[in-house]
């Protein structure tokens, strides 16, 4: 990258340097060149700071042009590498699936398609788009953006603000209590479901599925137990993967204990909605999973004025897209209990609008401003 003659000068920084992460000193460095070396070897975090001249007033790494340049060059390196990996993945995995999709569509057009075949086809298309096409397009666009900016000052302006970087780190953080809680719920979902799929679901479904007649006869536990059973490996895999992503964020925003309560509460709300609107038996954790998405979506709307821009887009547009895709799948794929999805989502939206954030999350949000309004 070319040097910018008009670039900002570095703020005055005492030597030797101390790198601070989360209030703790993680590195002692002798010079800015040594600090740039740390940045070039992926040893610095986007939330790191360095000591300034005033105690208690550390300097953001991205405020130092030399370090911002090193971090941007490292980001471009990883974007190139990820782009190559995604391109290879698209060639070796996407091409065979595209051939399969093409032949399936031709068969469907000529002879019709069984429900199970349609489910597999739609799942493959969604998986390809979400896991290969969308990440590849995003990577290419980000790399083009970096190349267009070119100079460190412009790159610093393009980097999300520090409040966005702090909140993103908080949302994806994996402290011990959060990690073990998320893993525990995932094991609780995997265990009974895998046993049922291994020995045949018929007996477990008979005992624990949501069956309207049995619930009206007094077997109230059937509002809870369906959450821990799944119809097939694809059903189980999608729910566990989505839970891992959404559950981690909800646990960091509200606390791990509340995340479990939210997940189970939304799952039960989904079972109740299914009891009212779906006469057929059903199983699965989709109501709880969509409920967690609803909690995050409600958080983005409720805290609109307190969220930094990138987090705001993630919790509204990003999570909203996840909700739309899952509801659309429910309408297009036969034998999906969309009443459960909608019931869990509605419960999540309600609880996410009312439940207070954890004290830690409050420290990452902007102070309340009663003049701030949500988008119409």
Quote the pLDDT of residue 288: 95
Quote the pLDDT of residue 32: 77
As a whole number of angstroms, the distance between CA 272 and CA 212 comes to: 10
As a whole number of angstroms, the distance between CA 312 and CA 106 comes to: 42
Angle, to 10 degrees, between the axis of helix 233-254 and the axis of helix 115-128?
40
The answer to whether 210 and 274 are in contact (CB under 8 A) is: yes
Segments making up each domain of the chain, as ranges: 17-63, 65-159, 164-364
Just list the catalytic residues: 286, 341
Q: How far, CA to CA in Å, does 313 sit from each of 151, 176, 230?
A: 26, 28, 32
Quote the pLDDT of residue 374: 42
pLDDT tens, the chain, 376 aa long? 344 444 445 566 666 778 887 678 888 887 778 888 887 777 877 777 777 655 667 777 777 777 777 777 777 777 677 777 767 766 676 666 667 666 666 666 666 555 555 656 666 666 667 666 777 776 777 667 666 655 545 555 556 677 777 777 777 776 778 888 888 899 888 888 888 887 776 777 788 899 999 999 999 999 999 999 888 887 888 888 889 889 989 998 999 999 999 999 999 999 999 999 999 999 999 999 999 999 999 999 998 888 888 788 888 888 888 898 888 877 777 678 899 999 999 999 999 999 998 888 887 787 764 444 444 3
Distance of CA 248 to the CA centre of its chain: 8
**What's the token pair of residue 130?**
């979400």
Return the CATH architecture of domain 164-364: Up-down Bundle (1.20)
* SS3 state at 10: coil
Quote the pLDDT of residue 23: 72
As a whole number of angstroms, the distance between CA 268 and CA 290 comes to: 12
As a whole number of angstroms, the distance between CA 239 and CA 232 comes to: 11
Quote the pLDDT of residue 97: 66
Quote the pLDDT of residue 371: 43
As a whole number of angstroms, the distance between CA 114 and CA 106 comes to: 14
Quote the pLDDT of residue 228: 92
Neighbouring C-beta atoms of residue 190, cutoff 10 Å: 15
């Amino acid at each position: 990258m070319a040097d910018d003659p008009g670039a900002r000068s570095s703020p005055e920084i005492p030597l030797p340097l101390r790198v601070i992460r989360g209030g703790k000193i993680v590195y002692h460095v002798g010079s800015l060149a040594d600090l740039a070396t740390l940045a070039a070897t992926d040893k610095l975090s986007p939330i790191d700071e360095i000591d300034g001249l005033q105690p208690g007033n550390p300097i953001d790494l991205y405020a130092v042009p030399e370090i911002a340049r090193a971090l941007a060059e490292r980001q471009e390196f990883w974007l190139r590498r990820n782009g190559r990996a995604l391109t290879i993945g698209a060639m070796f995995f996407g091409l065979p699936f595209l051939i399969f999709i093409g032949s399936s569509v031709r068969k469907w057009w000529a002879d019709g398609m069984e429900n199970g075949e349609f489910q597999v086809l739609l799942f493959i298309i969604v998986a390809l788009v979400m896991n290969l096409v969308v990440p590849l397009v995003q990577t290419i666009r980000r790399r083009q953006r970096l190349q267009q900016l070119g100079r460190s000052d412009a790159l610093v302006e393009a980097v999300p603000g520090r409040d966005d970087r702090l909140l993103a780190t908080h949302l994806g953080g994996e402290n011990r209590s959060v990690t073990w809680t998320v893993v525990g719920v995932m094991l609780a979902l995997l265990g009974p479901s895998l046993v049922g799929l291994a020995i045949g679901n018929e007996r477990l479904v008979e005992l624990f599925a949501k069956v309207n007649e049995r619930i009206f006869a007094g077997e109230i536990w059937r509002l809870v137990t369906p959450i821990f059973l799944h119809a097939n490996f694809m059903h189980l895999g999608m729910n566990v993967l989505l839970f891992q992503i959404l559950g981690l964020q909800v646990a960091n925003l509200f606390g791990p204990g509340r995340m479990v309560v939210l997940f189970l509460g939304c799952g039960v709300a989904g079972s109740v909605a299914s009891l009212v609107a779906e006469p057929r038996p059903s199983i699965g954790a989709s109501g709880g999973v969509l409920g967690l998405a609803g909690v995050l979506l409600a958080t983005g709307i409720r805290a609109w004025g307190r969220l930094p821009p990138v987090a705001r887009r993630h919790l509204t547009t990003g999570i909203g897209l996840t909700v739309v895709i899952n509801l659309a799948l429910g309408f297009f794929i036969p034998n999906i209990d969309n009443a459960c999805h909608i019931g869990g989502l509605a419960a999540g939206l309600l609880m996410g609008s009312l439940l207070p954030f954890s004290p830690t999350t409050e420290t990452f949000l902007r102070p309340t401003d009663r003049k701030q309004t949500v988008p119409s």
